[in-house]
Homo-oligomer: A and B are copies of this chain.
């Protein structure tokens, strides 16, 4: 096959090279659009001391929450970690470090990391604890703080469909942080529900161009729902 064929055939192969104390950027919002099988594989590998950059840390027993069970996570960079009792327990016990980052700033830090922008100014967090230790600068009469970008040794991403070249599209709001994470990993691994041949996806409709993707794998997904809310039909 072509040198652009990113498909790997096992989760072992997908995560080969992940080592203790590395930084992993993960897509997903809550339990929506999370790379469930890649997370499960990290649990199986038992890698320790990880810094995980992800908007949330899953829930007890699912998503990134399962990496707390064997204390594989040293530090979380997240905007919201309120869904997880084990997280709270490890945080209060001083076994886990957390760097709380506003959600939009977190998204932009990932994008900037992938785009070769080392830092940017934002009004978000000015005058709050988030601004502590950060440069403040005025532009056009308003105060902004300097935020540095994020890159990871690995990025783990959940897509919907991808072609073998690693061109990915996401489904509905399962997109969220995934395309940003995809740009910011030294090695980016995408797991998807369906792999198609190159040429089957419309070029203008690709969310993550294959240039960002190193390894691609087809998985099956539980897609657990966090807050099941319905109306009467």
Task: Return the chain B residue nearest A175 by Cβ.
Answer: B204
Q: Assembly of this chain: how many copies?
A: 2
Q: With A204-B175, A205-B205 as given contacts, are A140 and B117 in contact (CB-CB < 8 Å)?
A: no
- Chain-B contact segment, one of A36-44, A50-58, A166-174, A211-219: A166-174
Give the size of the chain A interface in residues (CB under 8 angstroms): 26
Q: Is the interface of A mostly helix, strand, loop or mixed?
A: mixed
Q: Hey, what's the 0/1 contact readout for A136-152 against B, CB within 8 Å counting as 1? A: 01011010100010000
Inter-chain contact B121/A172, CB cutoff 8 Å: no
Q: Cα distance A144–B119 when bound, in Å? A: 10
Across the interface, which residues of B come within 8 angstroms of A171, CB to CB?
204
Q: Which residues of A in the span 74-94 have a Cβ within 8 Å of any Cβ on B?
A: none
Across the interface, which residues of B come within 8 angstroms of A137, CB to CB?
119
Q: Hey, what's the 0/1 contact readout for A166-190 against B, CB within 8 Å counting as 1? A: 0001111001000000000000000
Inter-chain contact A112/B123, CB cutoff 8 Å: no
Q: Cα distance A203–B169 when bound, in Å? A: 13
Inter-chain contact B120/A139, CB cutoff 8 Å: no
Inter-chain contact B204/A170, CB cutoff 8 Å: yes
How close is A205's CB to chain B, nearest CB, in angstroms? 5
Q: Cβ of A122 < 8 Å from any Cβ of B?
A: yes
Q: Cβ of A199 < 8 Å from any Cβ of B?
A: no
Inter-chain contact B122/A121, CB cutoff 8 Å: no
Q: Spell out A's residues near B (CB within 8 Å).
A: 108, 112, 115-123, 137, 139-140, 142, 144, 148, 169-172, 175, 203-205, 207
Q: Which 5 A-B pairs have the closest CB atoms?
A: A118-B139, A120-B120, A205-B205, A119-B121, A117-B120
